[in-house]
Structure 1
Amino acid sequence: MALYVKKATCEALTPLLTFKRFRGKINVQRPQVPHFDKAKYLALTKPWFLSKTKGKTPLELCTKDAIPSYKLKEDAEDMFQKIIAQEVNKWFHTSKLIGLCHVNPMPREQQFNAFKAFKLANMHFRQYGKKTLEMAIKGTKYETVLDFYVSRNMLIFSPEPEIKQMLKILKKFPAVVLMAGIYENRLVSKDDLQYYSTIPSLEVAQAGLVQTLNAAGSQLVSNLNAHQTTLVSHLEGRAKQLEEEK
């Protein structure tokens, strides 16, 4: 009897449990209708919102008065964006060559290589938002650039008019399409930029002009001294001939 009591009090009895789902799978898409009391409390506690656009025609919804009050208000003027706009305005007024480009989707690595190539050529490959660009150049002589700034656009700023160098770099990146440019404060097309790239620079043209003028002066001096030089050579030859006869 003592052994039986000890066994019964010291050992935990594990009940035999069998889990069984009622009527197979639970229907999630078409759940069972709840009980009346439960359905009543669910209906009372169901959240509801009053729509300000309910019962209005599409024409009425297009007016400004029909816009709900929960819409975001107009963003306040961002001081950082103002600083960026001042920087863009400075680039426009100090650059002798500006390229207006459209950028097709390209890998991030290729985009970094484009930034690097222009940086090594002392050019700046920049991307700005439409609002920032409007703050920078609206009301200035560069306002026409906003017509080209529609989708994914990039700007190339060059402190020197290195058109040939810019076109050479753009050939390596077909995703960057040159649309137009600003050369010496004039808006020019892509064809004009390609034509200007074939024209030598001002330094090369000046060197060629100086060489031409020097050549003309040297030719004139040689032509003026030609008869005297010929006479002197003939006299020297006759003198040598007379010396030989003696």
Structure 2
Amino acid sequence: MAAVTRWCKRFCKTDWLPTLQLIRHGSKAVTRHWRPMHFVRQKLMEVTKYIPPKPLIPERCIKPQVKQVEEENGYVKLLRRDVEQAFHESKMIAICQYNEVPANDMVLMGYRLRKYNIHVKYFPNEVMIPFLSESKYKNLLPLFVGRNLLLMSPETRAQEMLRVLRGVPQINLLGACVDNTILSKQGFTNYAKLPSMVTAQGEVVGALSLMTSQTSTLLQRGPVHLTSLLDQYVKQQNCESVEAKETGTLD
């Protein structure tokens, strides 16, 4: 320390001060330490704490609640657009319960349905429920509880769809909508048993042609009967005239 002091004095004589100065600070005496409050005093402070009176009208009744409008995700908007387009273009929509199905069976089922122009689609319930609640298909909402598959087709291929679904027991039919008519599972099964449109048209044409033939027969029955009666009357008159001539010649 003495050497440092002598070194500083020697340089100070030449009007030069060092940039580094050694200053020693003494330790400060801490006389007050934090002490915890006594338990009795804590109880007293809690008891005597000021409690402001509650307002007569709750604040939530005075100030209206502001609902935060969350912006939809772009992917959700795309799915909703696809749902609207699929429902607009499809005449037959079947809702099925989707259980665990092997991947190979699922691919094979989709291939078999695609041959009849029936497409398999999956949309999450977060997209289907808002769409159905604002559309004319709102009565289908009770069917969308778990994971569902939608079988859509621009044609009414009910028989073919049921034939393919029989080979996949893990997928259960819940209901359907055919030509804007909501059907249950049993109603859709009964609808599939109906004949096709071509067969029904043939049956209607056959029934109409039968009715027209019967009508023509009934209309012709009267004149034919009248004609036969007139012929019989003419024959009877001729026979009477012949008999009268024979009796006149004999006399």
If the TM-score is normalised by the length of the shorter chain, which range does it land in? 0.5 to 0.7
> Partners in 2 of 1:146 and 1:112 — Cα distance?
28
Q: Note the C-alpha offset of 1:76.
A: 5.5
Q: Secondary structure at the match of 2:187?
A: helix
Is residue 85–residue 135 contact of structure 1 (8 Å, CA) maintained in 2? no
Does residue 174 of structure 1 match 2:169? yes
- 1:106 counterpart (93, 101, 116): 101
> Following superposition of structure 1 onto structure 2, how do residues 13-52 of structure 1 map, counting pairs within 5 Å?
none
- Which amino acid in 1 is paired with 2:211? A
- Which amino acid in 1 is paired with 2:98? V
**Structure 1, unpaired ranges of 5+:** 1-73, 232-246
> Partners in 2 of 1:218 and 1:89 — Cα distance?
50
1:62-105 residue CA offsets vs partner (Å, 9 max, x unmatched):
xxxxxxxxxxxx98622133122111112113322111100221
The answer for the alignment partner of 2:84 in structure 1 is: 89
- 2:207 counterpart (212, 220, 223): 212
Does residue 128 of structure 1 match 2:123? yes
> Partners in 2 of 1:112 and 1:155 — Cα distance?
15
After TM superposition, the score normalised by the length of structure 1 is 0.56
From the CA coordinates, give the structure whose radius of gyration is larger. Answer: 2
- Which amino acid in 2 is paired with 1:120? K
* Aligned residues: CA RMSD: 2.8
> Partners in 2 of 1:221 and 1:168 — Cα distance?
45
Q: Secondary structure at the match of 2:134?
A: coil
> Partners in 2 of 1:110 and 1:97 — Cα distance?
23
- 1:192 counterpart (178, 187, 204): 187
The answer for the alignment partner of 2:198 in structure 1 is: 203
- Which amino acid in 2 is paired with 1:161? T
Is residue 89–residue 137 contact of structure 1 (8 Å, CA) maintained in 2? no
Q: How many residues align?
A: 158
After TM superposition, the score normalised by the length of structure 2 is 0.55
Q: Note the C-alpha offset of 1:221.
A: 4.1
